[in-house]
Amino acid sequence: MLRSLMAGVSGVRGHQTYLDVVGNNIANVNTVGFKKSTVLFQDLLYQTSRGASAPQDQLGGINPMQVGLGTRVGAIETIHSQGNLDYTGNRNDMAIQGDGYYVLSNQGKQVYSRAGAFTLDGSGNLVQAGTGFMLQGFEMSLDPNDPTRYVQASTLENINIPVGRKLEPRETTIAGFRCNLDSRAPTYLPMGVLTNDVAINFSMSDGTDVTAYSLEVQAGDTAADFMTLTDGTNEVTLALSGINAESGLPEFTVTGAGDFTGATYDPLTGRLTVDNGTETKMIELAPYMNFTHFTHGDPAVQYLAEYNDLPNGNRELVLWDGAGNREILELAMNADGTFAQVDPAPSITIGGVTFDVDYAASGLSMTLKDVDTDVVSLRQTISSVHTTKLDVYDSIGNAHTLEVSWEKIDNNQWRWRAWLPEEPGIALTNNTGVIDFSGDGKLLGPDTADLGLNFASLGATDAVITLDFAGTSFGNEPIEGVTQFGEPFTTKAFYQDGFGMGVLEDYSVGADGVIYGIYSNGQTQALSRVALALFANPQGLLKAGDTVFEASANSGLAQIVSPTEGGAGKIAGGNLEMANVDLSEEFVRLIIAQRGFQANARVITTSDDVLQELINMKR
């Protein structure tokens, strides 16, 4: 009877603990980051009245005879399951989705929590609301070797967000372009015979075999070898013999060699016909000739005019007359690609006739004239030029508008120019060049150009800005840089690494735990990264109040990692993780605990009644 009495007492004690745990869970149903607990009962010990005996020859085995002496609370386990997220919109609030615990500093001692309600203190430290425990993380800084990336420190520090701190300006060192230059555009100016990467492919039969030819167009410098088509063995040479008044195309004396001894040319259509004695092929040459044709004088003389692009960014005017004469005049160009005004105006003489060169006020056309005849316009093709603007910054944070243009000068070849349209007084160096493309529209090179700017005239330091045409400055493949496909122009400046002075005004946290500072100059910079702690046995953590945990001998050492790495969860900014308490489940447990307590109390009262009867037997 005493044994049943003590068993009932142990049951009452155990279920009282069960009620305490359930009550604590219910009390913290709205506690941010709270993790519920559950009780595990174990039987206490047993009094053995008779031991077990093994089976014998003529007698079976006998089981042991034991009387239990009650129950005890074997464990109170903390359940670390994910709680629901509650959106608050507060920039200081964070919730962990997945494994991990915030690392907090309690006067230098590390504690851990899932409660992500933080606030800024008077020193700009990010602290847990209600406790003042400081949130710890890793400082982020710009990579000195790559200003587009950040380096994460290896030591933990208290996270500080210095709202109001200045961000010093950074001068622009690189500008990246992400665009397409329309390959279908005509050349910017009449550029004569287009030869860059031009090949004419066809095949001919000699009666038995079929031979494939790949003829490369080559332009000559004199009338005698105006144009040559060759595959290395067989060739056709076209010598200028005149200019067709009806079509405006050159007239040629055709000479064939090798298989192409029978070759003729039609100046009305610009078609070359080659004949190897067995088969005839017609080749269209007109698409490869880009001239301006005009008639001048009395009697009328036919002229062809073309431009050549020079390495220094200037252009030369080339004039041909029907007699095969050829004269050249170099023309200075402005930074924006317009003709530079010169005084006195230049002139060019060909075949005994002198032409004065004049410019339109807009700089978009050039005219040839003499005192007695009408003006002939050799106008630039504006549709073949595409421009883009971007702001670049000097060493003291001044913004300057940089304009860059691309002009098609030949097949697969474009000239770029850079200038400051609003500040023509600032000298630029190496501000023009030529980029080449392959037959598949991809950039052959050069990938970059170093543009010099004389910002010292404004009190800043002189700058060198690398113009990136290949897309490497923003971490992409060359296909994302400058290309030349048969699609509309999409030219735009995609990236530059400079900015003016700014003041930290706001901040936000990303899923990877990086806290980004938002500055008044539009810049966003990584300031710190929240650290998370992982444990081999999270249930071994000690609850220390204030919704924090401490490491114990059975939790394992804290493994400090960054969110989304090493098995840690991600951060949901502007959210809080609520308690993982399920009220319906807790109410069921409350009923179970109550009934268990009542039943064990009945064991005690029943045992007491039996003892009372035993005592009454003496009466």
pLDDT along the chain (619 residues), means of 10: 81 92 95 95 86 88 89 93 94 95 95 96 93 95 79 93 90 89 88 80 82 84 86 87 89 88 90 87 88 84 88 88 88 84 85 83 69 73 85 94 90 91 90 90 90 93 93 71 88 82 93 94 92 95 94 95 94 95 94 91 86 81
Determine the pLDDT at residue 364: 60
**C-alpha closest to that of 214 among 232, 226, 196, 227:** 232
**354 and 422 belong to one structural domain:** no
Nearest to 563 by CA among 609, 499, 509, 491: 509
Q: Please report whether residue 58 resides in a domain.
A: no
Residue 541 DSSP SS3: coil
**124 lies in a domain?**
yes
**287-296 exposure pattern, b = at least 16 Cβ within 10 A, e = fewer:** ebbbbbbbeb
93 and 163 in a single domain? The answer is yes
Distance CA 151, CA 139 (A): 8
Residue 103: how many other CB atoms lie within 10 Å? 22
d(CA 350, CA 187): 25
The Cα 574–Cα 180 span in angstroms is 40
Give residue 363's pLDDT: 56
Per-residue confidence (pLDDT) for residue 433, from 0 to 100: 92
Residues whose CB falls within 8 Å of the CB of residue 519, separated by 6 or more in sequence, listed in order: 167, 502, 503, 504, 505, 525
563 and 601 part of one domain: no
Residue 261 included in any domain: yes
The tokens describing 267, both together, are 């100046």
Question: Among the three residues 453, 471, 500, which one is the final residue of a domain in this structure?
Answer: 500
Q: Is residue 203 domain-resident?
A: yes
Beta-carbon count within 10 A of 206 CB: 12
Alpha carbons within 13 A on the beta-carbon side of 475: 4
Q: Are strands 482-483 and 179-180 parallel, antiparallel or unpaired?
A: parallel
Q: SS in 3 state form for 332-361?
A: CECCCCCECCCCCCCEEEECCEEEEEEECC
* Cα–Cα distance, 284 to 266 (Å, whole number): 10
526 token code pair: 């990584």
Give the three-state DSSP class for 150: strand
**CA dist., res. 440 & res. 478, Å (int):** 13
Identify whether 239 is part of a domain: yes
pLDDT number for residue 377: 78
Look at residue 192 in the predicted model and tell me its pLDDT. Answer: 85
* Total count of domains within the chain: 5
Q: In terms of domains, do 232 and 316 share one? A: no
To 10 degrees, the CA torsion angle through 472, 474, 479, 482?
-80
Instruction: Classify residue 213: in a domain, yes or no.
Output: yes
Q: How far apart are CA 66 and CA 251, in angstroms?
A: 123
At 213, the amino acid letter reads Y
State how far the Cα of 496 lies from the Cα of 177, in Å rounded to an integer.
Answer: 9
Structure-block tokens of residue 277: 């004695």
Of 321, 354, 380, which residue is a domain's last? 380
For 454, phi then psi, to 5°, come to -90, 70
Domain presence at residue 532: yes
Helical (H) or strand (E) element with 451: strand 448-453
3-state SS, 152-217, equals ECCCCEECECCCCCEECCECCCEEEECEECCCCCCCCCCCEECCCCCEEEEEEECCCCEEEEEEEE
> Does residue 264 sit in the same domain as residue 335?
no
Give residue 354's pLDDT. Answer: 87
| Nearest residue to 446 via CA among 434, 454, 438, 456 | 434
Q: Rounded to whole angstroms, what are the CA distances from 566 to 21, 149, 330, 403, 608?
A: 33, 21, 66, 46, 60
Tokens matching residue 372: 């007695």
List the Cα angle 34/37/43 in 5-degree steps: 170
Distance of CA 119 to the CA centre of its chain: 31
Task: Let me know whether 70 and 119 are in one domain.
Answer: no
If asked whether residues 217 and 285 sit together in one domain, one would say yes
Are 400 and 440 found together in one domain? yes
User: What letters, b where the CB count within 10 A reaches 16 and e where it falls short, cover 226-246?
Assistant: bbbbbbeebbbbbbbbbbbee
State the pLDDT at residue 588: 94
Which range of residues forms the domain containing residue 307? Answer: 292-380
Q: How many CA atoms lie within 13 A of 267 on its CB side?
A: 17
Residue 271 CA to residue 289 CA, distance in Å, equals 11
Answer yes or no: do 268 and 356 share one domain: no
- Domain endpoint, select from 380, 410, 436: 380
In sequence order, the 6+-apart residues with CB closer than 8 A to the CB of 37 are 21, 24, 25, 76, 77, 78, 79
pTM higher than 0.95, yes or no?
no
Q: Are residues 36 and 20 part of one domain?
A: yes
Statement to judge: residues 573 and 523 lie in one domain: yes
pLDDT at residue number 577:
96
CA distance 255 to 161: 80
Q: Whole-angstrom Cα distance, residue 170 to residue 173?
A: 9
244 touches 285 (CB < 8 A) = no
**Is there a cis peptide before residue 563, judged by omega within 30 degrees of 0?**
no
Q: Is 489 inside a domain boundary?
A: yes
Q: Are residues 405 and 464 in the same domain?
A: yes
Sign of CA dihedral 174, 180, 183, 185: negative
Q: What pLDDT sits at residue 34?
A: 96
Task: Tokens for 9, please give them.
Answer: 């007492």
Q: What sign for the dihedral angle of Cα 497, 503, 508, 513?
A: positive
